[in-house]
Chains A and B, each alone.
Chain A
Amino acid sequence: MGRRLRIRIDYDRCVGSSICVLTAPKVFALNAEGQSSVLDPEGEPEERILEAAEGCPMMAIVVEDAHTGERLFPR
């Protein structure tokens, strides 16, 4: 297993494009309001999670190293 990640959704930005859900479906899901939410930050490999964050047209996903707090996306 890789390092543990902390994933945050910026709800002022999230528009429910679903791109994160389609990229990393075990990590992200749309909530009842149609915005993204984190199901399981360990549901997919780190690479896939970063791909999901980068794919977001609104830059609404922030990914950090849960241990060190290092910002992994956006850089």
Chain B
Amino acid sequence: MIVQDDLLAPEVVRDPYTYFARLREVDPVHWNERWGGWLITRYDDVVRAFRDPERLSSDRMAHFVRELSSYDRERLSILIRYFSRWLVFTDPPYHTRVRMLVNKAFTPTSVERLRPRVRQIVNGLLDRVESKGRMAFIREFAFHLPVIVISEYMGVPPEDREQVKEWSDETSRIFFIRADDPERRERSQAGLIKLLEYFEPLIHDRKRNPRDDLISALVQAEERGDLLSHDELLATCTVLLFAGHETTTNLLANGLLALLQHRDQWELLRQNPALVRSAVEELLRYDGPVKATFRWAKVDVEVEGKTIRAGDRMLLVLASANRDPAKFTNPDDLDIMRNPNPHVAFGHGIHICLGAPLARVEAQEAFAALAERLPNVQLSDQELRYHPTLVSRALEELYVEW
């Protein structure tokens, strides 16, 4: 064994970058026996994989179902039915059709219109904590911002936000492969059913009373008949809601941690607010919210001289590609002026994160306001702990004071 294969070992969860740097150097296309798949850790290989959807599938549910007993297939049938229609887990032509339907709502131009409202929400959250002199950054800030923004954009009423967020978190359990959650498939389906039951009447309401929100726009696509079926509409509502939550929270928390651990960069941002755009790109690269994403080979594929067999699964390690010295100068340095910065924190190719432009606006507004309003913020004395998951880079909490 070239490196130990436990991807959820405490030291790997705490510092995945050192672990993946070694792998990238000694075995960039690595068969991980314990996980049962290939780890792809070089930038060029990761990008090439992203650009090859014809040979590398994103159809996670097809592979999930294959490994289930017929009893489990029956028991988890709702989960399978809707997750197999989630954009992230689908291939063309389905993916192309639905992506093109929702893309318009998430283009940089469309989400730019939300910026003033995002700024207002950010300032409202800071108003609540500013005089306290300290906060639990995730619980009091980073958790709320994306929930409020995506809920308002979709058309989920404020009074339902917290409940919907809870169901969305339950639903997500199945994806954040954890060492400590044996019931995650059942809980995931239970959460999903709650979300489906929630969206059904909301969709009916928007059929009668269309508004200027995302659900209304999707309903119109469904009503045009051939564009979106009812199941597809429901699946898309749930995936947009879910995807708008946790990843942005983690971007904000990881980003603030990185800035406060590199005080010179925090000061640089503070003195040059116009750097916030390139700063956000660098925070995405340096310690982004998603460590890795999956693909399945449809046919035999050669990568770095190794043969990945049809049916094998691959982990495209974004956290490693973004630190590859073959692509980035001084990759382990945080440099908020880095330009260009072709990181793959949002993926690449046809599955490039739909919500990336929105996440960018949220993060830009959050860090701009933090730097302006809490210039002396610093890390509180604490032991940083990360959730033990394969896919997400998620702090349990981040305590700061000023």
- A interface residues with partner B (beta carbon < 8 Å): 12-13, 15-19, 22-23, 33-34, 54-59, 74
Q: Which of B73-81, B105-113, B163-171, B232-240 contacts A (4 or more CB under 8 A)?
A: B105-113
Given A17-B349, A57-B354, answer yes or no on A22-B109 (Cβ-Cβ < 8 Å).
no
Q: Which of B35-43, B56-64, B96-104, B172-180 contacts A (4 or more CB under 8 A)?
A: B96-104
A22 touches B100 (CB 8 A): yes
Contacts of A34 in B (CB 8 A): 48, 51-52, 349
Question: Across the A-B interface, how many residue pairs have beta carbons closer than 8 Å?
Answer: 50
A57 and B298 alpha carbons, distance in the complex (Å): 27
A57 touches B349 (CB 8 A): no
A23 and B104 alpha carbons, distance in the complex (Å): 11
Q: Closest Cβ of chain B: how far from A61's Cβ, in Å?
A: 11
Grouping DSSP codes into helix (H, G, I), strand (E, B) and loop, the A interface class, with mixed when no group exceeds half, is loop
A36 and B340 alpha carbons, distance in the complex (Å): 18
**Can you list 23 A-B contacts with CB-CB less than 8 angstroms, sorted by A residue number?**
A15-B50, A15-B347, A15-B349, A16-B50, A16-B349, A16-B350, A17-B350, A18-B96, A19-B99, A19-B103, A22-B100, A23-B100, A33-B51, A34-B52, A54-B107, A55-B103, A55-B107, A56-B107, A57-B103, A57-B353, A57-B356, A58-B352, A59-B108
Task: Please tell me which one of the listed residues B340, B348, B354, B356 contacts residue A16 in the complex, with CB atoms under 8 A apart.
Answer: B348
A41 and B393 alpha carbons, distance in the complex (Å): 42
B96 touches A16 (CB 8 A): no
Which residue of chain A has its CB nearest to the CB of B110? A54
- B interface residues with partner A (beta carbon < 8 Å): 48, 50-52, 96, 99-100, 103-104, 106-109, 340, 342, 347-350, 352-354, 356-357
A18 and B53 alpha carbons, distance in the complex (Å): 11
Contacts of A57 in B (CB 8 A): 103, 106-108, 352-354, 356-357
A55 and B96 alpha carbons, distance in the complex (Å): 13
A15 and B348 alpha carbons, distance in the complex (Å): 5
A19 touches B100 (CB 8 A): yes
Question: Nearest 5 CB-CB pairs, A to B?
Answer: A34-B51, A12-B340, A15-B348, A17-B352, A16-B349
Sample of 20 more A-B contacts, CB < 8 Å, known A15-B352, A18-B349, A57-B353: A12-B340, A13-B342, A15-B50, A16-B348, A16-B350, A17-B349, A17-B352, A18-B96, A19-B103, A22-B96, A54-B109, A55-B107, A57-B103, A57-B106, A57-B354, A57-B356, A57-B357, A58-B352, A59-B108, A74-B108
Given A17-B350, A19-B100, A22-B96, answer yes or no on A12-B342 (Cβ-Cβ < 8 Å).
yes
Q: Closest Cβ of chain B: how far from A32's Cβ, in Å?
A: 10
Which residue of chain B has its CB nearest to the CB of A23? B100
A13 and B342 alpha carbons, distance in the complex (Å): 7
Contacts of A12 in B (CB 8 A): 340, 342
A18 touches B108 (CB 8 A): no
A13 and B278 alpha carbons, distance in the complex (Å): 13
